[in-house]
């Protein structure tokens, strides 16, 4: 018998149990035992695999026979922030074209909201005013910069390129994506920012990227640029975002992620006239697709085959 521990809010467990039960036999896992942490009794030594998103610190390190851990999200900062995380156990992140596409849609939607000045149109409608708000610059002259040009960043960039924007991506290593300018490494960050009228953050949260969306970075953008953060709340220094908006260095921001989630009711970001707040729903992992990935991963591990999408512990993503 192979035992998988589900580390999720207990009320979510049924959403994941049924797809996992459905997926297991097709991957040759006739005997997959599902245990829900916080609901079912178990001995730590019984657990072969675990899945979750933001497990309690110390929990995974207390499971002595773990063979692999599966993240239900693309981002794994919720695992690696645990000082007792068992780094010798492979951590598999969720990489899925449907999730990347949802994220790309979010980026396209919010780029167009800002570029087409859609909030001005809505405000005019509220006053029954016929105001034809138009882009400040032509689309081909509007630079969209994507911080974090990986699985999701590339998909978002390709969609935005196809809409006619001048897209560039920034990553650690250079990329070769037709029609998109690639900038790599710290030295290239300044020139990348200088041409980004709309800046989209799709970086993983690591010690290097924490707090990257700060006053110093905003000052390197063209005056009046827009910010879209769909990565992690800890990438942005909230006070700096508000200051940059109030000073006009930023014209607007779409924020999907926050230092504290759910965003507390009294947080000033909610009511700021230049900010669109969305509740960390830019892209949601589909349980059926995730169950297929997890079952395939467990089956591969049981056969002694290599796992896909394993996090590099040294890089932290």
Q: Give me the residues that bind ligand NDP (CB under 6 A), please.
A: 73-75, 95, 99, 103, 148-153, 170-173, 202-206, 208-209, 230-232, 256-257, 280, 282-283, 317
Decide: is 285 part of the binding site for ligand OXD (CB under 6 A): yes
Number of residues that bind ligand OXD (CB under 6 A): 5
- Cis peptide bond prior to 262, omega within 30° of 0: yes
Decide: is 217 part of the binding site for ligand OXD (CB under 6 A): no
Residue 204 binding target from ligand OXD, ligand NDP, none, CB below 5 to 8 Å by type: ligand NDP
Nearest to 47 by CA among 34, 22, 66: 66
Decide: is 287 part of the binding site for ligand OXD (CB under 6 A): no
Compute the least distance from the CB of residue 293 to ligand NDP, in Å: 13
Residue 209 binding target from ligand OXD, ligand NDP, none, CB below 5 to 8 Å by type: ligand NDP
Residue with nearest beta carbon to ligand NDP:
150
Residue 245 binding target from ligand OXD, ligand NDP, none, CB below 5 to 8 Å by type: none
Decide: is 153 part of the binding site for ligand OXD (CB under 6 A): no
Kindly provide the residue ranges of all beta strands, DSSP E only, lying in 11-137, ordered along the sequence. Answer: 32-36, 49-52, 68-71, 91-92
Residue 172 binding target from ligand OXD, ligand NDP, none, CB below 5 to 8 Å by type: ligand NDP
Nearer residue to ligand OXD within complex by CB, 229 or 285: 285
Compute the least distance from the CB of residue 202 to ligand NDP, in Å: 5
Helix then strand then coil, % of the chain, to nearest 5: 35, 20, 45
Compute the least distance from the CB of residue 77 to ligand NDP, in Å: 7
Decide: is 204 part of the binding site for ligand OXD (CB under 6 A): no
Active-site residue set: 232, 280
CA distance 206 to 181: 24
Binding mask 37-76 for ligand OXD (x = CB under 6 A): ------------------------------------xxx-
Q: Are 196 and 215 in contact (CB under 8 A)?
A: no
Nearest to 3 by CA among 43, 29, 33, 37: 33
Determine the 3-state secondary structure of 124 from DSSP.
Answer: helix
Nearer residue to ligand OXD within complex by CB, 171 or 285: 285
CA distance 282 to 100: 10
- How would you classify residue 28: left for phi > 0, otherwise alpha for psi between -120 and 50, otherwise beta? left
CA distance 285 to 292: 12
CA distance 132 to 249: 24
DSSP element (H, E) containing 289:
helix 287-302
Where do contacts with ligand OXD occur on this chain (CB under 6 A)?
73-75, 283, 285
């Amino acid at each position: 018998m192979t035992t998988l521990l589900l580390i999720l809010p207990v009320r979510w467990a049924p959403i994941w149990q049924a797809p996992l039960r459905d997926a297991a036999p097709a991957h040759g896992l006739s005997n997959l035992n599902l245990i829900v942490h916080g609901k079912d009794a178990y001995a730590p030594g019984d657990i072969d695999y675990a899945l979750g998103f933001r497990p309690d610190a110390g929990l995974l390190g207390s499971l002595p026979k773990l063979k692999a851990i599966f993240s239900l999200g693309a981002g794994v900062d919720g695992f690696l922030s645990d000082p007792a995380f068992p780094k010798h156990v492979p951590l598999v992140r969720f990489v899925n074209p449907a999730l990347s596409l949802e994220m790309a849609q979010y980026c396209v939607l919010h780029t167009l909201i800002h570029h087409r000045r859609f909030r001005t149109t809505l405000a005019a409608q509220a006053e029954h005013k016929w105001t034809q708000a138009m882009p400040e610059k032509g689309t081909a002259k509007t630079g969209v910069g994507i911080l974090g040009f990986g699985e999701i960043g590339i998909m978002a960039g390709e969609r935005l390129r196809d809409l006619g924007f001048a897209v560039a991506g920034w990553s650690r290593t250079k990329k070769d994506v037709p029609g998109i300018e690639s900038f790599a490494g710290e030295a290239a960050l300044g020139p990348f920012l200088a041409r980004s009228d709309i800046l989209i953050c799709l970086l993983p949260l690591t010690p290097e990227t924490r707090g990257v969306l700060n006053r110093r970075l905003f000052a390197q953008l063209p005056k009046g640029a827009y910010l879209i953060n769909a990565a992690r709340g800890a990438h942005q220094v909230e006070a700096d975002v508000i200051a940059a908006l109030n000073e006009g260095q930023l014209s607007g921001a779409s924020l999907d992620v926050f230092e504290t989630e759910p965003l507390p009711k009294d947080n000033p970001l909610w009511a700021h006239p230049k900010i669109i707040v969305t509740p960390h729903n830019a892209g949601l992992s589909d349980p059926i697709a995730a169950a297929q990935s997890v079952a395939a991963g467990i089956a591969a591990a049981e056969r002694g085959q290599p796992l896909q999408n394993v996090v590099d512990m040294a890089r932290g993503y």
